[in-house]
Structure 1
Amino acid sequence: MHPSRTICAGLLGLAIAGSAGAQSTADEIAKYRAMLADGNPAELVEAQGEALWATKRGPKQASLEACDLGKGPGVVAGAYAELPRYFKDTGKVMDAEARLVHCMVTLQGLERADIVKKPFSEQGERATDMEALAAYVSAASRGMKIMIPQKHAEEKAAFERGKQAFYYRAGPYDFACASCHSKDSQRIRLQDLPNLQQAAAAQGAFASWPAYRVSQGALRTMQWRMADCFRQQRFPQLDYNSQAAIDLITYLGVKASGGTMAAPGLKR
């Protein structure tokens, strides 16, 4: 056989072996998730959040049971599946985490700077209050349809800004969110990357956040997911509850509308 053909055949064999190996690993990861699904460690964080929701705290010694997440004061069931949305009392589009911060400030008298100083736990630490509350609130929408509203002008504007952010290329690698999430069959290391332009993929991705990350031993929120994507693109740090974060979540949520909430999910 001609040397060039031998080399090509060898490379083809390596490519096939690599593809088969990656697929095998992905299958094993899927099996692992399935085994843990009935005992998702996120349930412990949900319980922590449920207790926080009913605990009287802060200078006003109030609970969050009067917090309006968009479906009326104290109504938690189904609220997460319809967030982000426009809130008349703030004149802003807010996601679940931004709204929880608002309620902690207005109802309990807590200082916003103290709440957002460290919204995410480090690996091995107990879940933060924000992570716990996000787990509790999202779990109350499990099995419900994702219906991110687009009626108010501010909701539509948030979607359009989020779309622009999704496709915006910048940074040392000239990356955008779309670089990883607008094509089929893409992968980073062993992680399959969903094509968020496809309804089914967008629904599956949005519906499973917040999620417990086995590799980190921690529950991670949707705001954390946005910030970590920015980090991987080598963008400037995404501020917690920033307009950019909420706009991106709005865009992804609208793309996922019609899906069924399954959060907190389980990730590698």
Structure 2
Amino acid sequence: MRKRIKAVAVCVGIALTAPASAQEELNFDAYREMLADGNPAELYEMEGEELWRTARGPKNATLEQCDLGLGAGVVAGAAAQLPRYFEDAGRVQDLETRLMYCMDTLQGIPSKEIIDGKFLQGERARLAALVAYVVTHSKGEKIAVDLSHPKVKEMYELGERTFYYRLGVMDFSCASCHSQDGKRIRATQLPNITTREGAAEGWGSWPAYRVSSSQFWTMQHRLWDCFRQQRAAEPIFGSDVIIALSTFMAGKGNGIEAKWPGVKR
């Protein structure tokens, strides 16, 4: 497994450092297929499953009673129906904020520790592994966010407004990069989020393992980095603006199969 990951990383590194003219000739679809065949996200999934079943925190409890929307402890198919409104939390939550809620209420691990933390470190890194575990059990499921709930509909509309809202010193919006077909940045094809298929592609391929940095990124991490690249104020982890954008993408991609977890360059 380690040899395969190393080989894949070398191949991708060669592709990304090749001259522009050579890059045009490379078949990046073939590279993506090769990467997906041995997706290192599986390692995070295994870690997440162990974390799900391990008693931790001040309450020395597991997450096996965490309700992701389909009943206590039900993981299969849950990610495909998130974000959703949760009565106990009194808000619309995506997968990460729901897991954070369960870690707080069931295990006593303060949400503030995750919100104030850093990506890839501490409890936020453990949360990412839990995300990998949960989404794997919705791979191949059709995205099915319930937009009939007034709170979810409200969040969807906020996400749509945010998608088109220009901000930052570069006067960019999400739509600046994700509202046309055929756009790309280097080897990365940019999905057209304004279409149902593009929204499903963007939503249903994150979280993902990033070969170029040997890191596993959740959707919260991906969207946070989009704000950073726009030179805009970076959103607080778990804030409504991220959940709204997630709800917009997921809701627009309803009915299309998710491919979690993804693998990126």
TM-score by length of 1: 0.87
Quick one: which amino acid aligns to residue 265 of structure 1?
G
Q: Distance in 2 between matches of 1:126 and 1:82?
A: 24
Decide which of 173, 185, 189 is 1:188's aligned counterpart.
185
Q: Distance in 2 between matches of 1:128 and 1:59?
A: 19
SS at structure 1 position matched to 2:167: coil
Aligned partner of 1:12 in structure 2 is none
The alpha-carbon distance between structure 1 residues 240 and 132, as it changes in their structure 2 partners (threshold 3 A), is: same
Quick one: which amino acid aligns to residue 64 of structure 1?
L
Aligned partner of 2:127 in structure 1 is 130
1:251 is displaced (CA, Å) by 0.3
1:55 is displaced (CA, Å) by 0.4
Paired residues of 2:84 and 2:152 also in contact (CA < 8 A)? yes
Aligned partner of 1:255 in structure 2 is 252
Aligned length: 247
Aligned partner of 1:6 in structure 2 is none
Aligned partner of 1:244 in structure 2 is 241
The alpha-carbon distance between structure 1 residues 225 and 97, as it changes in their structure 2 partners (threshold 3 A), is: same
* Structure 1 residues 155-183: Cα deviation after superposition (integer angstroms, max 9, x where no partner): 01000000000000121111000000001
Q: Distance in 2 between matches of 1:83 and 1:20?
A: 42
Residue 67 of structure 2 corresponds to residue 85 of structure 1: no
Aligned partner of 2:9 in structure 1 is none
SS at structure 2 position matched to 1:86: strand
Aligned partner of 1:8 in structure 2 is none
SS at structure 2 position matched to 1:107: helix
Mapping of 1:23-172 within 5 angstroms? 23-25=24-26, 27=27, 29-121=28-120, 128-172=125-169
Paired residues of 1:45 and 1:127 also in contact (CA < 8 A)? no
1:36 is displaced (CA, Å) by 2.3
Residue 221 of structure 2 corresponds to residue 224 of structure 1: yes
Aligned partner of 1:198 in structure 2 is 195
Greater gyration radius: 1
Q: Distance in 1 between matches of 2:263 and 2:123?
A: 17
1:32 is displaced (CA, Å) by 1.9
Paired residues of 1:119 and 1:129 also in contact (CA < 8 A)? no
TM-score by length of 2: 0.88
Of stretches 91-100 and 145-154 in structure 1, the one that deviates more from structure 2 is 145-154
Paired residues of 1:82 and 1:148 also in contact (CA < 8 A)? yes
Q: Distance in 1 between matches of 2:124 and 2:47?
A: 8
1:38 is displaced (CA, Å) by 2.1
Paired residues of 2:113 and 2:123 also in contact (CA < 8 A)? no
Q: Distance in 2 between matches of 1:40 and 1:127?
A: 21
1:184 is displaced (CA, Å) by 1.3
Paired residues of 1:66 and 1:73 also in contact (CA < 8 A)? yes
Of stretches 86-95 and 34-43 in structure 1, the one that deviates more from structure 2 is 34-43
RMSD: 1.9
Quick one: which amino acid aligns to residue 217 of structure 1?
S
User: What residue ranges of structure 1 are gaps of 5+ in the alignment?
Assistant: 1-17
Q: How many percent identity over aligned positions?
A: 49
1:116 is displaced (CA, Å) by 2.9
1:21 is displaced (CA, Å) by 4.8
The alpha-carbon distance between structure 1 residues 96 and 126, as it changes in their structure 2 partners (threshold 3 A), is: closer
Q: Distance in 2 between matches of 1:35 and 1:189?
A: 19
1:76 is displaced (CA, Å) by 0.4
Q: Distance in 1 between matches of 2:86 and 2:124?
A: 28
* Structure 1 residues 51-73: Cα deviation after superposition (integer angstroms, max 9, x where no partner): 00000011111100000001111
* Structure 1 residues 91-148: Cα deviation after superposition (integer angstroms, max 9, x where no partner): 10000000000000000011122233335217xx998101100100111101111011
Q: Give the ranges of 4+ consecutive aligned residues of structure 1 lying more than 6 Å apart after TM superposition.
A: none
1:23 is displaced (CA, Å) by 3.7
Mapping of 1:2-21 within 5 angstroms? 21=22
